Each structure stands twice: as C-alpha cells, then as structure tokens.
Structure 1
C-alpha cells in the first residue's frame, strides 16, 4: 500500500489517463464495426448482414474480456503490470492497423484477435487496487470510470464526424482511416504510460501481484512466524468465501451486461430507421449514442464517488454491492419500459432521436451503480496473489454477456416478437433479478464478512 497520505497518488492518474487512450481507440473501432461491416462496398464497407456485423462487434467486446484471464495469470505470477500494459497496447495498435487495410471479414477478424489479445495484457485496473488505500477504493474506481469514459466519449464523437466528413471522399466513407487513427492513439498511450509510470509511478506494478500482500496476509505471515510454523499462505476459509463471492457477482453481472449491450442494437437498427436523426439541418451520427452515454458517465463519476463516501459514513454503513447490482438492473428495466412507451406513443411517426437521451439516463445510472464498484469490490476482497486473475474472472462475466447479446438480439428483436413486446419482456426479466438480489443479499454478504475464528486457518 502507498505510504503517501494523498487520496489519489500520481500513479493513479497515470493509470487512469492511460485508460483514456485505450477507450478512445476502442470506441473508434467498436462503434464503427457495425457500420463498416454492413455498409455497401461502394460506400467503403464490407456489405455484410446486420447480424454478422453484430456478431463481429460482440466478438471484439467479448474476447477482449476473455483474453484478460491469460493476462491475469501472467501479471499475478510472473511479470509486473507496468511491463505487460505497454506491450499489450502495442499489440492492440497492430490489430487496429489490420482493420485499416481490411477488405474482407478475415482481416476484420485479424483485427479483433490483435485487439483482444493486447487488451488481455492491459492491466491498469488491478494496479489501481494496489496504488489507492482501501478506504478510497470505491471513490477511486468511480473517478477512474469517469476518465475511462472521456475516451469513450471522444471516440464515437470523433468517428462520427471523421468517417462521414473528414475522411470521406464522395460516396466512399472513411472507415479505414478511423481504424488507422485508433492504432496511432494506442501508440501514443503506450508512450504516455511508460514515461509516466517510470518517472512518477514509484514501485507501482513492478512486481507480480502475488508479491504485494494485503494487510490480512501480512498479519497471517507474522502469526505463522511467531508460532514457529512454516511461512506459507494457502487459501483460508475467509478467502475461499470471498473468491466465491467474486465468482457469484461476476456471474450475476452477465445478466446486467447482457441487457446493457443489448440496448445498443435497437438504437442502431430499430431506432436508426424509426426515429428522426436530424436536428435542424444537422444529421446526428448514429454512433453518437455511445458518446452520450460516456458523457453521462463522466459527469456522474465524481457525483457517485461522493455518494459512496456519504453512504459509508452512515452508522449502518454503505449498502452492499449485491443490492447495488439489483438497483442497477432495475434502472435498466425502466429504460426498456421507456423504449416500449416511445414505440407505442409514436404510432407510425418518427419521433426525435433526442428522446434517447432519457433512455441513456437510465442506462448510465445502472452502469454507475454497479460497474466501477465491481473492481473496487475485487480490489478490497481478493487475495493479493490472485488479484489480476480475480479481476479477469470479473471480465469473464462480461465476456459471456458480450458473446450472447447478438444472439439474444436476433431472438428478441429479429422479428419473432413485436418490438414493444420484446422490450417489456427484457424489463420484466430485469425486475425479477432485482427482487432476487435483494432477497439474497444477506447470505451473499456473509461470504465477504471476516470470521475471526477462520482468520488464521
């Protein structure tokens, strides 16, 4: 743990700002894949179906989280995160360059592989858990989430203008130069991180996480030495329960992220043709939908950080992460109900796309009540020697959600049901999950509560 009394040491800002580069490039690429894949060849695209485009986007999202497991093992056991992170960024840059020269689905898949493998080595998130004090973890990860979303905001905003205006030539849209720009951004980010962490990062990320012990682990080692026992840390009962809690919350988040990712596809495909995207004489690029969500996350990050500090200062303490996940799913359910209301109210007309701002408020509230806090939860309760792997288990939940949402979209919104009925069905499922999580809160919380009689086990 850092010796400085500063709530957020400089190394935290190095890691947080590195996320800006990574997310900017990621959203330059991710937000364009749907459009690049489905645009006609004459317009600079690949001329593929919308389902194929959705599956490509879901693969980019999903496998970037699956690859985190491999990176987590490397960082926990063998190589410090300050070394794997810039290497991963260089690999990502190479992947985006493949996208810039792609003229078929095969080259897009090469891009997806490079980006995903490189992001598996990108480990600034676990580093934050070792840089910041335990009592500041929730607020730190909320602020980090705001920094992440600076990149998520700028990426879609830039791509929306660049591929339609700046890089376009006649009817040929500028998809490939945008992928090239994403590659350059990652190269710049690798330089920023390397210089910043070397000059101002102290010892952050120099060693594998298994060598950076928690206070509980240090106390157990001291007790073993005092009892003349062999100093060896094996998983005790408390740690095993906490690992199960991390696995369970990672499994529950599959549902959250499935509904969250799913919300984007109707915005691109259904509302893309059933809403008016013109405001005055300006046509709003569809992928600015991503940017608006990111803007709301940037604004709400510091606000939720203050909220968590305020809740923790109460005599009864903060509400649990499990209840917060339930609340988050409730917000998503409200968002889908709003989708249904708009579709019913519009009749055969085309309402303004500005109505989607209201949906995005629900989407963002759900995200901020859950996503940044998951990382803080793992940083607080994971054994140090499994820190990156546990962060990757969290990522594994997002992998399954990202891999599934294109198929759920095909089932729910692909013509089997009316759009309104599909939205109401998703909302009901979300509300049921809220009820289940609130009902299970007490037994789930018991998994992370320390039992003194098990502490030395």
Structure 2
C-alpha cells in the first residue's frame, strides 16, 4: 500500500470521537470486546470440559492429554492467522475477513453448545480455529490503518483497544464459570451469543466509523494467480486428505505425532514467512532492515507467550487441584481465575497508556519494553513455585499466590502485547501488512506448540523444578535482549 493510499484511508476515518482517538476505534473496540467475550468464555471452561468425568458433564479425557490438546488448539488458533492474513492481503481485505471469521466462530460455539461426542467436539474446534484466524489478526490491522504513521496517539490507541479485548475476557469467565457446574454446554451457548453481538456491532457501525479502513486489498491476486491458487488449494486438499486416510489406519498419525508435527510447523512457518517477505521484490531496503529488527522481538514474544498462555493450561489445572477454592467464606470456581489476567489489564492498561504518552521521547524503546516483559514473565513463574517451597506439594495453596503470579505476568504483558501490535504495524512491509500481523500472532502459535510438549513434564511433585527452569530462562533472555537493544534500534530505521 502506497503512502498516498495510507493517508487516503486515514482521511476517510473521523479522527476524533472516542476518547480523543479516531471514531473507528469505537467500532473495533466493541467488536473485539464481544469476540474476546466469546473466545475467553469458551476457553475458561474448555480444559475442564475435556478432563472432567462424563458423569460431571465432561468428555472424560486424560488430564495430560487435555492440557496438550488445549495448547495445540491455542497454537492452531493463532497459526490459522496465516490464512486470514493472506486472504485479507490478496483476496477480500481485512473488513470482510473480520466478518466471515466472526460467523465461523459463532457457528463453532453453537456446535459446542450442542451435546455430542469427541468427534463433534473436534469439528467445533476446527470452525473456531479457522474463524479466529480470519478475525483476530485482521481486526488489529484495521486499528493500525485508522492512524497515520506519525500519529503519537498510535501506541495509546492500541492500549485502549487492548483494554477492550480484556474487558470482554474479564466478564465472560465469571459468567461462564458460574454456569459450568450446571452445564458446560450452556456456557458454550453464552459464548455463541457473545460472538453474535460482536458481529452486530461491526456491521451496524463500520460504514460510518471506519470509512475506507479495511476495504483495501494491498496485494491482490491477478486473474492468472487466482486460477493457479484454486488449483493448488484443490490439489493440497486431495493430497492432505489422502495422507490422513492412509496414516491413521497405519498408526502413523497418532496424537503424539500430531503434537510433534504442530511443534515443527510452529517454528518452520514463521521462519518461512520471514524469508519470503525479506526476499520479495515488493520489500524495499528500509523494510528489509526493519524485518531483521523484528526477528529478536519475535523470539522474545515466543518466550513470553510460552509462560503467559500456560494460564489456560498448567495454571488452570493448578487452580482446580492445588488451590483453596473455599476462601473467605465463599466457593470459588476454578474458571474465575481466568478473569484475573484481564482484570489486571483493565486496571493497569490506562496507567501504561498514560505513562507512555507522558514519557514521550523518554519512554523505553520497543526492544527495552520487550526485555521488561520477559523479566516480569520469569518472575511470575518464580513466584508460583514459592508455595511448594514453603508448604510442600501436598497442601492446598492460598489463592492469593496464584493472583500474585497473574499480576506480575500482566505487568510484562502490558510492556509487550499492545506495544508489539503497534510495532508490527510500524515495521511491516507495505505489501505484507496484514500478513505481518499474522506473523505477530504466530509467536503465540509457536509458544503454544512448544507448550504442548513441555506441559507433559509438569506434575505436582516436580512443580518447583518446572516453574524454576522456565522462569529462569525467561529472565536470562530478558538480560540478553536489553543488552542488544541499541543494535536492534539501529535496524529499525527511525521507528521507536
């Protein structure tokens, strides 16, 4: 997309009307609020639904298997952003990608709300994976489009947008967690209703508030490319279908081999993305330099999300089996702990947004903010090993320890996630804007693909070792990143 087209899109969006920000931020804020309400409501109870006994309304899967499935599911959700980013960049633009993705997510949650067997469960997961891949990276890309590249409100705007995400994520586990013991399927139905409201909000306000944002196709397919793409997709479906049909009866495609495959793809796909964008003739020299700067940020993001995303796996199980759920006179649902992360973000995001604007040119650089994020993430895991150190692994843990771990990790998240979203829109090559946002979400995909391997090593008996090794590795990487930050800034070519 040329600078002229970028400015034309910005000029089409009313630039005031939502807390001093472009009016389109209102539409994107509430669209993502309802989508995250839907997603996190479902995710808050999903792991319990998998490993609870059938007599308690669950599927009765082995707990270790359920934790690994949860990680693989999370990885595939973000990995599917490749498809969503490519379709937005080359076929129908980000606005349509958001709309189509929302429909698929809603259908997936409706499928979960209908009692069924394990096969039906996996079908609903496929719908949600594809739908989130279409919606998640592209709604963030539209946020980047409503600001000019030199607009100082940009980072603060992403922080406000991020607060909307977490407002939905905070409310939904409280509601869905409350009905979990009555019916898991009722909880999934509530998630479907949330996605419906998100679609309604987007359709009703996008024309007036977003202008041309999301309508541009920056790198459209030519007629010849369209024909070739359809043929290749059809061939790929046939080949993959044939391989699966042959591998399952032969015992080659097992759950373990599938985890290994996703783990390999989690590393290979982002590597291939970097290579393709770097070598593309549509990428100029300045953009290539910025892509080099993006690599250490991507690696740091993988380390951070490997810790943060265990809030829905290891820490969810920890809340269910290792934590005092009768506390201060009332019973706590284990799903409610999923609301702690967004609650702390809602509380602290305005503080961080104000702080970055207040500091102006004196604020830490992007690499320095990432190094702080890794430091806090590592500390959050070191904190959660202390209860076992002081009280042993057999006694139940005061829930305040778990709350403290979530709080420390959130401090890191606010240094990385909204900053990373903003940095991605700044460092992205113009011809790959939506796909670069997909690349950002691939850091979470890679992290969760790795998590699918390492969660299998967790047990109550070795939890001190588990949390200590991972937390320590994050702190070491934080120090390294801080030391090389000036070098990274040089490759960013003026982006700060």
Alignment counterpart, residue 391 of structure 2, candidates 334, 346, 351: 346
The answer for the alignment partner of 1:81 in structure 2 is 94
Aligned equivalent of 1:319, options 364, 374, 380: 364
The one of 406, 429, 439 aligned to 2:452: 406
* SS of equivalent to 2:334: coil
Aligned equivalent of 2:69: 56
Q: Following the alignment from structure 1 to structure 2, what is the Cα–Cα distance between the partners of residues 238 and 109?
A: 44
Per the TM alignment, residue 85 of structure 1 is displaced from its structure 2 partner at its CA by 1.0
Structure 2 residue 158 is matched with structure 1 residue 141: yes
1:331 equivalent to 2:331? Answer no
* Cα separation, partners in 2 of 1:279 and 1:15, compared to 1, 3 Å: same
Task: Say if 2:344 is the partner of 1:296.
Answer: yes
What is the alpha-carbon distance in structure 2 between the residues aligned to residue 88 and residue 264 of structure 1? 23
The match for 1:216 is: none
More deviation in 126-135 or 361-370? 126-135
TM-score by length of 2: 0.80
Structure 1 position 359 matched with structure 2 position 405:
yes
Query: d(CA) in 2 for partners of 1:72 and 1:243?
Result: 17
Aligned to 2:431: 385
What is the CA distance between 1:20 and its match in structure 2? 0.7
2:126 to 113, 126, 145: 113
**Counterpart-to-counterpart distance in 2, 1:189 and 1:272:** 31
8 Å Cα contact 1:262-1:406 kept in structure 2: no
1:205 to 210, 214, 219: 214
Q: What are the ranges of 5 or more consecutive residues in structure 1 without an aligned counterpart? A: 169-173, 212-232, 452-457
Question: Which structure 2 residue ranges, 5 or more long, are not aligned?
Answer: 1-6, 221-280
How far did residue 155 of structure 1 move?
1.4
Which position in structure 2 is the counterpart of 1:269?
317
* 1:270-321 alpha-carbon deviations (Å, 9 max, x no partner): 343332111244211111111011111111111111111122243xxx3222
Between 49-58 and 112-121, the greater mean CA deviation after superposition: 49-58
Aligned pair partner of 1:99 in 84, 93, 112: 112
Question: Is it true that 1:372 corresponds to 2:418 in the alignment?
Answer: yes
Q: CA deviation at 1:21?
A: 0.7
Aligned to 2:293: 245
Is 2:133 aligned against 1:152? Answer: no
Deviation string for 1:324-343 (max 9, x for gaps)?
A: 11111111111112112222
- Measured in 2, the distance between the counterparts of 1:86 and 1:344 equals 49
Q: Is the 8 A contact 2:371 2:482 kept in 1?
A: yes
Separation in 2, partners of 1:379, 1:17: 21
Q: Could you tell me how far apart the structure 2 residues matched to 1:268 and 1:55 are?
A: 13
Displacement after TM superposition at 1:132 (Å) = 2.1
Q: Distance in 1 between matches of 2:57 and 2:212?
A: 47
Q: Structure 2 residue aligned with 1:47, among 42, 56, 60?
A: 60
- Whether 2:209 is the aligned partner of 1:184: answer no
The structure-2 alpha-carbon separation of the partners of 1:346 and 1:272, relative to structure 1 and needing over 3 Å to count, comes to farther
Distance change >3 Å, CA 78–CA 265, structure 1 → 2:
closer
Shift of 1:210: 4.7
1:97 deviation in Å?
1.6
How does the TM-score come out when normalised to structure 1? 0.87
Alpha carbons 2:67, 2:314 under 8 Å: kept: no
Q: How far did 1:197 drift?
A: 0.1
Q: How well do the aligned residues superpose, as a CA RMSD in angstroms? A: 2.0
Indicate the structure with greater helix content: 2
For the residue of structure 1 that corresponds to 2:92, the secondary structure is: coil
Aligned equivalent of 1:196: 205
Q: Secondary structure at the match of 2:180?
A: helix
The farther-off stretch of 18-27 and 279-288 is 279-288
Q: How many residues align?
A: 418
Once residues 82 and 144 of structure 2 are traced to their aligned partners in structure 1, the CA distance between those partners, rounded to angstroms, is: 17
1:243–1:382 contact (8 Å) kept in structure 2: yes
**CA-to-aligned-CA distance 1:350-409 (integer Å, 9 cap, x gap):** 342133221121011011110111110011221232110000011111111112213212
Contact 1:138 1:305 (C-alpha < 8 Å) held by counterparts:
yes
